[in-house]
A and B are shown apart, each in its own frame.
Chain A
Amino acid sequence: MAALARKDLLLELRGRETLPAMLLFVVAMLVAFRFALTGEQSDAAAGLLWVAILFTALLGLGRAFVPEREQGVLDGLVLAPCDRSAIWLGKLLATLAFLVLVELVALPAFALFFEPLSGQTIAAVALANVGICAVGTLLAAMAVAARARELLLPLLFLPLALPIVVGGVGATVAEDAGRYLGFLALYDLVFAILAWATFEYVVVE
């Protein structure tokens, strides 16, 4: 699993295809939101932060299994005698690393354009990242085998990511963020277990 995650990071270091695109996209989105919002609309700004994170993650997830699609590498990984869910976990860790790197730029940019970020918002983002990558990696593996993969991934991912938006926005704006953070942690746990258990069936016909 560590070998697979390391390989993904090496591929990105060589190709530099996903991370720069995600960075440019999130910064462009935040700039666009800055001009779109007028006056005191801090609650709306909190919502837009979550939309920006979700769509940026979607951009990265869309590229997640592209190297495996080329040259049929996914077959090679599936044939290896390791637990097939390790492919999912390795990919999840690499996608998570990309998302965290993007957020290291996006969150300060948000604070600069809109308002300072609270500790509870950062905790919510950290929890949401795990859920986004757990669900998104599974769905990206599903979509990569389909002909209309570019359409399929957002159609599958966005409905399943709605609870993350609900939990994330709630944790950002509510006085008592605890229950929203708990909700996000529960989402992570449930979907990580589901994705781990079902990944094998996704990658084998």
Chain B
Amino acid sequence: MIRARALEKRFGSKRVLRDVELDVERGGFAVVTGPNGSGKTTLLRLCAGLAAPTSGELELGVERGRIGYLGHEALVYRELTALENLDLYGRLYRVPERRERIGMLLERFGLWDARHERAGAFSRGMLQRLALCRTLLHEPDLLLLDEPFNALDADGAALLDRELVELRGERAFLVATHDPARLAPLAPEHVALAGAK
């Protein structure tokens, strides 16, 4: 589903990624690790199509609308409620039975009671839960998750553990994390980024 060869990314004169090789098949689960500034987020953004590589090959065997991207930010409007944000994304992604799917996700991620609250009033952990709802809303085939456990409390992290186990199957995962041990039960492949010089 993802095939990268000699992938390189520069921002001006600064080289962020260098000679990255990556293969993630359907049903595959790859974990990207590396120190701060090693290019984990950049790699995920390249795979999402949010940035273009400077050189190298990057092939994605999935349409844009079948990608679920969880970034550092929640990608939701602060002035809209949780329900309104998900409804907007549901419309953009043409999610079938949108209301039912949104209700189910809000319930599952413990946000149902806060569904009419504006995202701007959410704590960092609640925002991360909302971002996870947004990411999973359209049942994507490829999940690109950048530090998905960030800001989650113990309950939230345990919930995400269960979700990842449940979601694994036909989907492909590329997860950037500082805590690969947490994902060990999913038997992932490791992509270690050392940071380009």
CA distance A59 to B65 in the complex (A): 34
CB distance from B65 to the nearest CB of A (A): 3
Q: Is the CB of A72 within 8 A of B75?
A: yes
CA distance A76 to B88 in the complex (A): 11
CA distance A48 to B117 in the complex (A): 44
Give the most central of B69, B92, B118: most A CB within 10 Å.
B92
Known pairs A75-B69, A205-B50; A82 contacts B92 (CB<8 A): yes
Q: Is A175 an interface residue (CB 8 A)?
A: no
CA distance A76 to B69 in the complex (A): 8
**A119 CB contacts on chain B under 8 angstroms:** none
Q: Is the CB of A67 within 8 A of B79?
A: yes
- Contact-residue size bin, chain A (C-beta under 8 Å from the other chain): 20 to 34
Known pairs A3-B88, A71-B74; A79 contacts B69 (CB<8 A): yes
Q: Is A70 an interface residue (CB 8 A)?
A: yes
Q: Is A77 an interface residue (CB 8 A)?
A: yes
Q: Is A7 an interface residue (CB 8 A)?
A: yes
Q: Is the CB of A81 within 8 A of B48?
A: no
Q: Is the CB of B79 within 8 A of A15?
A: yes
Q: Is A32 an interface residue (CB 8 A)?
A: no
**B76 CB contacts on chain A under 8 angstroms:** 71, 73, 76
Q: Is the CB of B48 within 8 A of A70?
A: no
Known pairs A7-B80, A81-B94; A71 contacts B75 (CB<8 A): yes
**B89 CB contacts on chain A under 8 angstroms:** 76, 80
**A147 CB contacts on chain B under 8 angstroms:** none
CB distance from A72 to the nearest CB of B (A): 4
**B69 CB contacts on chain A under 8 angstroms:** 75-76, 79
**A70 CB contacts on chain B under 8 angstroms:** 77-78
- Against B, the Cβ 8 Å flags (1 = close, 0 = not) of A7-42 are 100110011000000000000000000000000000
Residue of B nearest to A72 (CB): B73
Q: Is A122 an interface residue (CB 8 A)?
A: no
CA distance A78 to B75 in the complex (A): 11
Q: Is the CB of B78 within 8 A of A71?
A: yes
**A81 CB contacts on chain B under 8 angstroms:** 63-65, 92-94
CA distance A205 to B46 in the complex (A): 10
CA distance A127 to B12 in the complex (A): 41
Q: Is the CB of B88 within 8 A of A11?
A: no
Q: Is A204 an interface residue (CB 8 A)?
A: yes
- Against B, the Cβ 8 Å flags (1 = close, 0 = not) of A37-79 are 0000000000000000000000000000001001111011111
**B88 CB contacts on chain A under 8 angstroms:** 3-4, 7
Q: Is B67 an interface residue (CB 8 A)?
A: yes
Residue of A nearest to B11 (CB): A205
**Other CB < 8 Å A-B pairs besides A72-B72, A205-B51, 19 of them?**
A3-B92, A4-B88, A7-B80, A71-B73, A71-B74, A71-B76, A72-B71, A72-B75, A75-B75, A76-B69, A76-B76, A79-B50, A79-B69, A80-B65, A80-B89, A80-B92, A81-B94, A204-B51, A205-B52
| 15 sample A-B contacts, Cβ–Cβ < 8 Å, listed by A number | A3-B88, A4-B88, A10-B80, A11-B79, A14-B118, A72-B71, A72-B74, A75-B73, A76-B69, A76-B76, A79-B64, A80-B92, A81-B63, A81-B64, A204-B51
Residues of A at under 8 Å CB distance from B?
3-4, 7, 10-11, 14-15, 67, 70-73, 75-82, 204-205
Which 5 A-B pairs have CB atoms at the shortest separation, nearest pair first?
A: A81-B65, A76-B75, A72-B73, A80-B92, A3-B91
